[in-house]
């Protein structure tokens, strides 16, 4: 029988994630699993085909990480209260790569991720993070449209 002991919840701190958190919390309660939150700050190569001066990014990477860490702390306090997740991390890099690597590193049995529902040109330029995670993850991935 399959069991779930660690659930990864990638969060975009700019988007409403209530539905995603509800499903992740339900799974965690059902299986007694630990919840791991992750937010990824996109690296300089996030928009394919663009020229980007990486020196600014490299110079300010630590500041970006610290600011996102503060936002993540507030997010955890608001959404988890005293029942804190097992971990809450902020990393920099390619979003899909970092999510998949984090899931592997933490031994996650399941990923619960929201979709943004991008279409047309936005999807061509930015792609679908959820789709990339589904294709590359070594564990099951539950995708949810966060606004339904």
User: In the predicted model, what is the mean pLDDT of residues 15-37?
Assistant: 92
Percent residues over pLDDT 70 in the chain: 82
pLDDT, tens digit, 9 for 90 and up, residues 41-88: 987 765 545 555 667 667 778 888 899 999 999 999 999 988 889 999
Instruction: Match 């339904």 to its residue by tokens.
Output: 148
User: Pairing state of beta strands 6-10 and 34-42?
Assistant: parallel
Q: Which CATH architecture has domain 6-144?
A: 3-Layer(aba) Sandwich (3.40)
Put simply, whether the predicted model's pTM sits higher than 0.75 gets the answer yes
For the chain, the domains span 6-144
pLDDT, tens digit, 9 for 90 and up, residues 99-124: 999 999 999 999 999 987 555 554 44
How many whole angstroms separate alpha carbon 70 and alpha carbon 89? Answer: 11
């Amino acid at each position: 029988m399959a069991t779930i002991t660690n659930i990864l919840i990638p969060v975009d701190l700019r988007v409403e994630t209530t539905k995603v958190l509800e499903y992740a919390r339900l799974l965690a309660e059902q299986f007694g699993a630990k919840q791991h939150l992750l937010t990824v700050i996109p690296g300089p190569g996030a928009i394919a085909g663009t020229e980007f001066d990486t020196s600014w990014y490299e110079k300010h990477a630590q500041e970006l990480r610290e600011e996102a860490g503060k936002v993540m702390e507030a997010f955890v306090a608001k959404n988890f209260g005293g029942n804190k997740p097992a971990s809450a991390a902020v990393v920099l890099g390619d979003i899909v790569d970092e999510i998949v690597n984090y899931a592997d590193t933490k031994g996650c049995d399941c990923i619960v991720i929201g979709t943004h529902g991008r279409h047309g040109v936005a999807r061509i330029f930015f792609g679908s993070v959820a789709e990339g995670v589904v294709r590359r993850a070594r564990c099951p991935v539950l995708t949810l449209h966060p606004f339904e």
